[in-house]
Amino acid sequence: MAVRRVGGARVTACRNVTIRSLTLGDDTPYRLGPIKGLGIPDVRDNDVERGHADGDVGQNDHYAPRQLLFQITIGPPDSPDVDTVWDNWDTLEVAWTKSNIDLPLTVTTGGRTWTFLGRPRGLVLDDTSISKGDPILRGQAAFKGLDPTRY
């Protein structure tokens, strides 16, 4: 698994991602960039300072929700014409539509497969990626793992 830092954030090279029966990555028209959020989530502690007295009131520590961010590119050579690129984008938008129920997200990196339970949080098109005559679209998809565990 290739791990590197981009702008101070830890990112991981990815082979495949599957959500709602749509697979992105190798052998698909959807190319994946680095993934942010696969590492250990931050710990939330609920310790409260007592303010008027010494010490604090200890509470349970727990992991914060996991936020996964995916960079996705659609375009040549997998989708050679503009109409196909936009059709693939529409399919991607449906798969990443926000949900109010937990769904499985499967991520394969470097021979390892993990499943995260959570909710897709939508897809954002990078408007700067749209250029005349160049059928390439780029976007970012977000997934919120309310359960930070990877299975």
Q: Give the predicted TM-score (pTM) of the model.
A: 0.77
- The domains found in the chain, sorted by start residue, are 3-42+63-145 (2.40.30.200)
Residue type, 123: L
Q: What band does 4 get if pLDDT is binned at 50, 70 and 90? A: very low
Place of tokens 């101070």: 8
Residue type, 75: G
pLDDT digits (tens, 9 = 90+) for 9-58: 555 566 899 999 999 998 899 999 988 998 888 877 766 666 776 666 66
Q: What is the pLDDT, as a whole number, of residue 76?
A: 80
pLDDT digits (tens, 9 = 90+) for 68-119: 999 999 988 777 788 888 999 999 999 999 999 999 999 998 788 999 999 9
